[in-house]
Amino acid sequence: MRKGILSLTAAAAALALGLTACGGDSGQTTTSTSSASAPAKAGKIGVILPDSKSSARWETADRKYLEEAFKAAGVQYDIQNAQNDKTAFQTIADQMVTNGATVLMIVNLDSGSGKAVIDKAKSQGVAVIDYDRLTLGGGAAYYVSFDNTKVGTLQGEGLVKCLTDKKAEKPIVAYLNGSPTDNNATLFKAGYDGVLKPKFDSGEYVKGPEQSVPDWDNTQAGTLFEQMLTEQPKIAGVLAANDGLGNAAITVLKKNNLNGKVPVTGQDATVQGLQNILAGDQCMTVYKAVKKEADAAAKLAVALAKGEKPTATSSVKDPETGQDVPSELMEPQAIYFDNVKDVVADGYVTKEELCTGDFAEKCTEAGIQ
Ligand code: BGC
């Protein structure tokens, strides 16, 4: 309680400082767009995306939806991508603040480097929003994401459904976890362990090889899965934490004529993941309506940039500090062959990009209009 009050006071002080900082700035930034109708007192918003390889989402979905939201609000913004470089991440943050950002929205590359950015920003009166990934021990002003444990639960349930459909008996299940430095990967695993561990414990399923993939590196995931399959050729199901890792496993399974026989999970409803589902090589993916996440985060950022103190609808406890971080958490949705069409209907991917070549027929079969 006491900690909560202290942190609120600190946030308020930071905000006040932020306002002072942006008051004297006339606004020059290279990559931002601003509307003439922007209220004079609104500061700039800087967004740092993590990379463009661990998932297609950051550049194809997050950037687009955030840009749309900022434009609609008529605020100045600058969205950059750290390309998996922690040093660049801090440099970008510094440049954004120098160029007048009073609010930063970050997707950390790990909690340590994320916390360094938050600490420095705070000391300069800049408010920070943890976007998608919670910075452990970081003390961001807000956290906007999905219910990530639920994402993992859907993956675990999805694998069970696909193994059951295949009438698998005592299937050996392999894990390709996300990056060990991403708190989301921890939450996803807690979710799928919650579904699968009781089955391992009862002997219904057998726990196979498990690896966490550094930086969610898809290439490394392929190498790791190749080793796993050599070590245990009878892998009958793969819990892959996102579509990129899933595709890495599918590529290896294809070489061994096992694709379509061994169900693989995913996440992010990427074009590649959805095509793998249409082809029958991937069991399921988890669709996260990034537009909702981007809109919620942009709303908070815009309010902060205007010097307001927005209230969040929920909170998440930082396991390292025990402090509650005001949060907005969206609901994920499981996607199988039959409801791939929901992702298209939602406008997240278009029929044109999904239903190319051989996939056209599969799209018709899956009722994609
Ligand atoms: C995100 C996932 C993404 C992964 C790799 C996670 O933090 O929640 O959507 O697939 O990072 O970028």
Q: Is residue 1 in a domain?
A: no
108 and 226 share one domain:
no
Within 10 angstroms of residue 212's Cβ, the number of other Cβ atoms is: 18
Please give the tally of structural domains in the chain.
Answer: 2
Of 274, 294, 293, 292, nearest to 284 (Cα)?
274
Residue 103 resides in a domain:
yes
- 126 falls within a domain: yes
158 Cα: distance to centroid of ligand 1 (angstroms): 18
Residues 193 and 283 occupy one common structural domain: yes
Question: What mean pLDDT is predicted for residues 270-298?
Answer: 98
pLDDT at 137: 98
pLDDT value at position 29? 38
Phi, psi of 54 (to 5 degrees): -70, -25
Using one digit for the tens of pLDDT, what is the confidence trace for 341-363? 999 999 999 999 999 999 999 99
Residue 164 forms part of a structural domain: yes
Q: Which residue is listed with tokens 């639920």?
A: 150
Whether residue 342 sits in one domain with residue 207: yes
> Is residue 2 assigned to a domain?
no
Closest ligand 1 atom, residue 107 Cα: 7
Residues 213 and 242 in one domain: yes
Mutate to test the pocket of ligand 1, among 48, 51, 57, 111 (most ligand atoms within 8 A of CB): 57
Supply the residue whose CA is at minimum distance from atom 3 of ligand 1: 55
Same domain, 305 and 356: no
Q: Ligand 1: which of 81, 108, 212, 267 to mutate, most ligand atoms within 8 Å of CB?
A: 267
Closest CA relative to residue 66, chosen from 121, 144, 8: 144
Instruction: State the average pLDDT over residues 48-55.
Output: 98
Domain-embedded: residue 3: no
| Residue 320 is assigned to a structural domain of this protein | yes
369 pLDDT band, cuts 50/70/90, is: confident
In the chain, % of residues over pLDDT 70: 89
Is the domain of 123 the same as that of 80? yes
Residue 32 CB-half CA count within 13 A: 23
- Residues 344 and 283 occupy one common structural domain: yes
Mutate to test the pocket of ligand 1, among 216, 218, 291 (most ligand atoms within 8 A of CB): 216
**The pLDDT value given to residue 11:** 41
* Substitution site in 242, 247, 271 for ligand 1 pocket (most atoms within 8 Å of beta carbon): 242
Using DSSP's 3-state secondary structure scheme, residue 35 falls into: coil
Burial 233-264 (b: 16+ CB within 10 A, else e): eebbbbbbbbbbbbbbbbbbbeeeebbbebbb
Residue 218 near ligand 1, beta carbon < 6 Å: no
If asked whether residues 185 and 168 sit together in one domain, one would say: yes
In contact, 109 and 82? CB cutoff 8 Å: yes
Same domain (yes/no): 33, 123? yes
* Phi (first) and psi of residue 91, to 5 degrees: -60, -45
Predicted TM-score (pTM) above 0.85: yes
The verdict on 324 and 340 lying in the same domain is no
Is the CB of 124 inside a 6 Å radius of any atom of ligand 1?
Answer: no
Is any atom of ligand 1 closer than 6 Å to the C-beta of 132? yes
Residue numbers of the domain that contains 301 = 8-146+290-330
**CATH number of domain containing 211:** 3.40.50.2300
Chain-centre distance for alpha carbon 282: 20
Q: Does residue 221 surpass a pLDDT of 50?
A: yes
Nearest atom (ligand 1) to Cα of 288: 9
pLDDT digits (tens, 9 = 90+) for 300-337: 999 999 999 999 999 999 999 999 999 999 999 999 99
Does residue 324 fall inside a structural domain?
A: yes
Residues 78 and 217 in one domain: no
254 and 297 part of one domain: no
Q: Is 133 in the pocket of ligand 1 (CB under 6 A)?
A: yes
State the Cα–Cα distance between residues 155 and 166, nearest whole angstrom: 17
Which is nearest to 267 in space by CA: 282, 253, 281?
282
The Å distance, Cα 192 to ligand 1 centre, comes to: 16
Ligand 1 pocket check for 215: Cβ under 6 Å: no
Q: What is the average pLDDT score of the chain?
A: 91
Point out the ligand 1 atom lying closest to the alpha carbon of residue 148: 8
Q: Is the pLDDT of residue 296 over 60?
A: yes
pLDDT score of 324 = 98
Contacts for 174 with CB less than 8 Å, ≥ 6 apart: 208, 209, 210, 225, 228, 229, 232, 235, 237, 238, 239, 249
Name the burial class of residue 210, with classes exposed (0-12), middle (13-18) and buried (19+) by CB atoms within 10 angstroms of its CB.
middle
Q: Tell which atom from ligand 1 comes closest to the C-alpha of 58.
A: 12
